[in-house]
Amino acid sequence: MPLGGAVLGAAREVQVPILALLLLGACAAKAQRAIRTRSIDTAISPAAMFPLRLRNSTAVGLCASELGLGIGLLVTAGDPGTAAAAVTVRVATALLFAIAVAALNEMRISRPDAGCGCFGDLSDAPVTMRSLARSAVLGLAALGSVGTPPLRVPASPGQGALLVLAAACELLLVAAISPETSEILVRLGYREPCEARRLPVARTLASLRASRAWRHYRPYLTAQAPGDVWREGCWRFVTYPASVDGRDADVVFSVYLQSRRPAVLAAVVAAASGLGPQSLPVETLRVERLPAPWPAGRARAAATAASPAPWPAGRARAAATAASPASAGVRVPSRPAVPAPLAAVVVPAPRPVPTFTPAPLAVTAPERAAPTVAAPGLPSPPVPVHPLAHVAPRVSALAPAGPDPAVLRRPRFVPSRPPARHAPSRRRLPNI
Amino acid sequence: MRTKPEWEGGCDDLVESADPAHFTRRPLLRAAVLSQRDGAGQRDMTRLHEAAYESLLRPRPVAQRTVVAGTISDVSPHVLILQTPEGEERLTMTPATATWRGGPVAPTGLRHGDHVIARKTAPGPPAARGAGARRTIVERAWAGIGRATGTILEAAPRAAGSPRDLELLVDEGPAKPRKIVLIAHAVYRQILVRFPRLEAGYLIDVIGLRDEGFLRAISPATSQPAYRASQPPAPPLVSGRVPNPVSGSAVWHDPGEEPATLLGLAYPAIDPETGCEHAARRPPRGRPPARAGQPHAVDPHDSGLGCVRLPYLSVGSVLTVRNDCAGLSVPLPVTSCGAAARLFCDRCLQCSTSPRGRIADLTMAAFVELGGRLEDGCFNASLTVPG
């Protein structure tokens, strides 16, 4: 047999199982949708074009005919004794697809917003020429299968490979012209985007209270419960009433919507109440950058092992970091020191980087006004901020700048450059 | 010691809230925090915020607004005098002015005492238009227009009058009072074409004339979904990021308790953890639980995410709504929860076929401001959430 004839024969042979598979799949998808919605005619299908009293029976009839033809194609495929029945079933299948082409064309004109419902939930997109083309191709395939010999086990491996190749080609063609393919691919690789992800407030608050920003601003807060909680896209915002040098303020935290180690940002703004222009705009009292994170993990362990005195931790570290009288009474949660076994297994290394260098004691830097939101008609007085506020965060933003006697009594450090591996906290922020 | 955090939110509504300031400040607080991350955007947000909240915080004089609402105190073929909360407003009608009262009518078809919402034309050539310019010419005016969107709770022939008159009791969600819709014999067939199931448990969306205590249906606003209100289809899956801007259908709702000129929108995807759904589990005060006496009442908060995936926002958030048909774009604040819009999976066909699902339930004034025609019920819209 010439190659062309063999390919054509293989292509005609594989039509029956493919058609049966598609018909049974379509019926199952429709039934699944009907079961889920507990209503027969909820499927957006050509049944919508029928009068109301006929819709249920139309939907049931369509599904039943698909099921019957699918089973009929399989039953009559391999038995030589049912040749007449096989022809009948295959012609009926071609007729069904021809009717489908006409119905879909009618739907495309009269109900341009409705999906064909061919494969239940997957077929919500409006009917296009692709849906029509698929039905037409399948109808032709059904016609082409009329008169083919009964299915049998392939005589040779080459013939089997030809059949598989023909089936794969046809399935690829059907997938290419099916509008449902993109929907299936989306469902396979689905991951809920953060804007649409649900996360309980309690989870957000727990993440917030475990964050550095929370420890940083906690001494200013005047209430345990948040004043307001809201969400915009991937961020949830929490405000707490606070007091900064006797002035009412709000600390605004924003927590990224992810369940583990979310990014947390914070700002302090002047409190306001009442509806009207007087309560706006927001006056930012202090928008600080958090101090650069302390070396952790191996670097920190190495530093611990190399230096005779342990790295300042807990209260001592807090005192070294926040060198200010305001911090004297602040309770800072202490971080446990590096356990000795961990320090022991680390290869001793020279003390890493001169991470910190002594800062000049005299405060001579010019005052830096806090960034404020432009206030048309309501000029806000410039708020002096301590020039080294980022290392002494508990210095009040409203306190006059100037040399602080307490500062001179204490060793004072300022990071010379951020550690390479633990650079700014924003590194963990997702790219949004 | 760490205490268990507790947050009890309420059903947010900017207008009905006792302290609306904390809603209006939210976008600015957000900008103050997030500007640390990118260093920019705070000024843009301030400008966006000012534009969005203008109708609420710094309303312009009536003469300078595009949309005016009030009660007719006098009308002639060329002059329309409206009584607004700010005073009397004289408007000019030209032959090009379109007026609606249950259908297109001549200006003389408007009646004394009708509640009217009108859109004015911009004065002069487009280049000379300014925000402070006085506007007096009416482009379109709608008298007594109303809308009922929700679930049918009861359907019964009207006791008095023609036996073919049908009365429906419609539930528009837990935050709104129920409405009575009268479908008169004359429009019964027209509405039946688009809403074949006028029976309890199915959805309805009709536009009509407001009357004493009920709405007289005039035309269908969409096609009836084939499903019951309690069984909407599953939400589509979105992989990667929620698209921004997101496209769909924008509809409008009756003002109810809101000021008639409020520019805002009821957003269908308010954060369920802090917004409406949080409160929906408790029956509102003075109102029995939804399912106690009404088996067909559906709480839209409990019935899924709807047909379009939107980013979760909160009351007070600012977003930009664009009318894709008219090309107009306006920043608007979220003023209330629009979960009822999630029940509908329709498309808007005003200028093209929009994607499925309602993305915004605008106030009547915002819909008119954006160039929409109220009697159409929807326009193709894009929603942009500031990043």
Closest among B238, B205, B384 to B306, alpha carbons compared: B238
Q: Provide mean pLDDT across the span B304-331.
A: 89
Task: Determine which of A90-94, A200-204, A350-354, A420-424 has the lowest per-residue pLDDT on average.
Answer: A350-354
Sign of CA dihedral B86, B90, B94, B97: positive
Across the interface, whether the CB atoms of B57 and A276 are under 8 A apart is answered yes
- Give φ, ψ of B4 to 5 degrees: -70, 120
Give the separation between CA B297 and CA A27, rounded to whole angstroms.
32
> Looking at residue A398, what is its pLDDT?
36
Closest among B2, B56, B39, B273 to A237, alpha carbons compared: B273
| Greater model confidence, B371 or B229 | B371
Q: Which two tokens stand for residue A309?
A: 């005195």
What percent of chain B shows pLDDT beyond 70?
Answer: 83
Cα dist from A147 to A15, A85, A159, A168, B57, whole Å = 12, 11, 19, 22, 79
pLDDT digits (tens, 9 = 90+) for A235-257: 999 999 988 878 888 899 999 98
State ipTM.
0.86
Contacts of A272 in chain B (CB under 8 A): 21, 25
Cα dist from A259 to A199, A205, A309, B179, B182, whole Å = 8, 11, 37, 43, 50
Burial of B159 (0-12, 13-18, 19+ CB in 10 A): exposed
Residues 31-60 of B with CB under 8 A from A: 31-37, 42-43, 46, 49, 56-58
| pLDDT surpassing 90 at residue A98 | yes
A203 touches chain B (CB under 8 A): no
Contacts of B226 in chain A (CB under 8 A): 39, 41-44, 48
**Do B379 and B348 form a contact (C-beta atoms < 8 A)?**
yes
B347 touches chain A (CB under 8 A): yes
Q: What is the residue type of A359?
A: A
Q: How sure is the predictor about A399, in pLDDT bands with cuts at 50, 70 and 90?
A: very low
| Residues contacting residue A240 through CB under 8 Å, at least 6 positions apart | A217, A221, A222, A223, A226, A227, A250, A251, A253
Give the angle subtended at the CA of A374 by the CAs of A371 and A375, to the nearest 5°.
Answer: 125
| Distance between B46 CA and the closest CA of chain A, angstroms | 8
State the DSSP string of B321-382: EEETTTTEEEEEEEEEE-GGGGG------SSS-PPSSEEEEEEHHHHHHTT--GGG-EEEEE
A230: β partners? A237
Q: How sure is the predictor about A40, in pLDDT bands with cuts at 50, 70 and 90?
A: low
Burial of A366 (0-12, 13-18, 19+ CB in 10 A): exposed
| pLDDT surpassing 50 at residue A351 | no
Give the separation between CA A6 and CA A166, rounded to whole angstroms.
11
Helices (DSSP H) in chain B: which residue ranges?
A: 21-24, 26-38, 42-52, 54-57, 185-194, 276-280, 290-293, 364-369
Contacts of B32 in chain A (CB under 8 A): 252, 267, 269, 282, 284, 287, 373
Q: What is the residue type of A24?
A: L
Contacts of B3 in chain A (CB under 8 A): 224
| Distance between A394 CA and the closest CA of chain B, angstroms | 19
Q: Provide mean pLDDT across the span A294-314.
A: 38
Q: How sure is the predictor about A296, in pLDDT bands with cuts at 50, 70 and 90?
A: very low
Count of positions (residues) in chain B: 387
> Looking at residue A419, what is its pLDDT?
44
| Distance between B347 CA and the closest CA of chain A, angstroms | 6
| Distance between B92 CA and the closest CA of chain A, angstroms | 33
Q: How sure is the predictor about A224, in pLDDT bands with cuts at 50, 70 and 90?
A: confident
Give me the total of CB pairs closer than 8 Å, taking one residue from chain A and one from chain B: 191
Cis peptide bond N-terminal to B157, omega within 30 = no
| pLDDT surpassing 90 at residue A216 | no
Interface test with A, best of B1, B8, B25, B241 (most A CBs within 10 A): B25
Q: What is the mean pLDDT of chain A?
A: 67
| Distance between B306 CA and the closest CA of chain A, angstroms | 12
What residue ranges in B130-178 does DSSP mark as E strands?
A: 137-143, 145-157, 166-171
Determine how many CB atoms are found less than 10 A away from the CB of residue A358.
Answer: 10
Across the interface, whether the CB atoms of B34 and A265 are under 8 A apart is answered yes
Q: Which two tokens stand for residue A401?
A: 């700048």
Q: Which two tokens stand for residue A87?
A: 């022809």
Classify each residue of A63-84 as buried b or exposed e, where b means 16 or more C-beta atoms within 10 Å of its C-beta: bebbbebbebbbebbeeeebee
